[in-house]
Amino acid sequence: MQRKLTRGGRLVVASHNPGKLREIGELVRPFGLDAVSAGTLGVSEPDETETTFAGNARLKALHSALATGLPALSDDSGLEVEVLGGDPGIYSARWAGPAKDFTFAMRKVQEALAERGVTMADPAPRANFTAALCLAWPDGETQVFEGRVFGHLVWPPRGSKGFGYDPMFVADGETLTFGEMEPGKKHEISHRARAFKLFVDACLG
């Protein structure tokens, strides 16, 4: 039987990424959870040493849950480009460098495609975003939920509403990039929203 979070309880968001903190905070707010960031509680960021999104999400959530004695929700997510063999994948944040400069990271993706003779012209390069959410409890129990959204890449990037690689990604069936979409619309279809729905059904339902 799945363990449930209770309305009014505290939940640590195990991330120092402002964009992720904002999105996860908006997603959990309707369920009456008191979400607080790991950074606010003085919890460090662990080294992401796993080889999958799920593994890194579990590592981060456990780190925060054990450090705070509270349930912790982490996210590990990234952009996977088909013709690049799934890169940048779990290294999506690292492609942005120490400064977390995603303008640099997006250009790095574009340059990697160009090196392979791939242009953004029709057919545009296929890609997907993957998100793995992990809920960890202070006793070490974990639950992982994964979501994906498929689409294609565009260049130059468009929009400033999202974060990360959002300005160069258009989901299937859409014309706007995630960087151009209003947050509410993105939350309806994003990889994180799909993983979050599984989390809600299991842990908040």
Query: Known catalytic residues?
Result: 76
* Residue 65 domain-assigned (yes or no): yes
* Residue 1 domain-assigned (yes or no): no
* Residue 89 domain-assigned (yes or no): yes
Question: What is the span of the domain harbouring residue 46?
Answer: 10-203
* Residue 143 domain-assigned (yes or no): yes
The CATH number for 58's domain is: 3.90.950.10
What is the per-residue pLDDT for 205?
62
* Residue 180 domain-assigned (yes or no): yes
* Residue 76 domain-assigned (yes or no): yes
pTM of the entire structure? Answer: 0.88
Would you list the DSSP string of the chain?
------TT-EEEE----HHHHHHHHHHHGGGT-EEEETTTTTPPPPP---SSHHHHHHHHHHHHHHHHSS-EEEEEEEEEEGGGTT-BGGGTTGGGTTTT-HHHHHHHHHHHHHHTT--SSSSPPEEEEEEEEEEE-TTS-EEEEEEEEEEEE-SS---SSS-TTGGGEEETT-SS-TTTS-HHHHHHHSHHHHHHHHHHHHHT-
Domain count, the chain: 1
pLDDT per 10-residue tile (average), the chain, 205 residues: 82 84 82 88 90 96 96 95 97 93 97 94 93 96 96 97 94 97 91 92 83
